[in-house]
């Protein structure tokens, strides 16, 4: 498996929190996979039950930022067609539209 272990995720979370606190309040944060989604919520001190992971879901946060979920673009996900090129492209088209509004 090529996934980070819990300790690695926890050790890096404070750095992620710093990055997220220093980006524009109009930013769109793309979470590639559930680990990124959960880590982002933890870094922003948001409740995971309020923001469940769902591919293609856009969460508009109270501070103006947007969290976008996508399946991770791993070889496994692409070979099993869990994530297709069209699905991944669609996420970026929707993000572009969001940023242009």
Beta strands in the chain (DSSP E): 28-32, 58-60, 66-70
Say which residue, 1 or 24, is predicted with more confidence: 24
pLDDT at 1: 62
**Percentage of the chain with pLDDT > 70?**
98
pLDDT at 10: 82
pTM across the whole model: 0.89
Q: Domains in the chain, please, with CATH? A: 6-100 (3.40.470.10)
CA–CA distance, 79 with 41 (Å, rounded to integer): 28
Per residue in 61-77, pLDDT (tens digit) is: 999 999 999 999 999 99
């Amino acid at each position: 498996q090529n996934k980070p272990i819990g300790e690695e995720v926890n050790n890096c979370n404070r750095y992620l929190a710093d990055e997220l606190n220093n980006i524009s309040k109009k930013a769109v944060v793309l979470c590639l996979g559930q680990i990124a989604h959960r880590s982002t919520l933890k870094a922003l001190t948001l409740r995971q039950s309020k923001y469940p992971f769902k591919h293609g879901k856009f969460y508009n946060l109270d501070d103006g930022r947007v969290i976008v979920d996508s399946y991770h673009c791993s070889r496994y996900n692409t070979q099993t067609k869990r994530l297709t090129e069209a699905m991944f492209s669609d996420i970026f088209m929707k993000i572009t539209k969001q940023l242009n509004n």
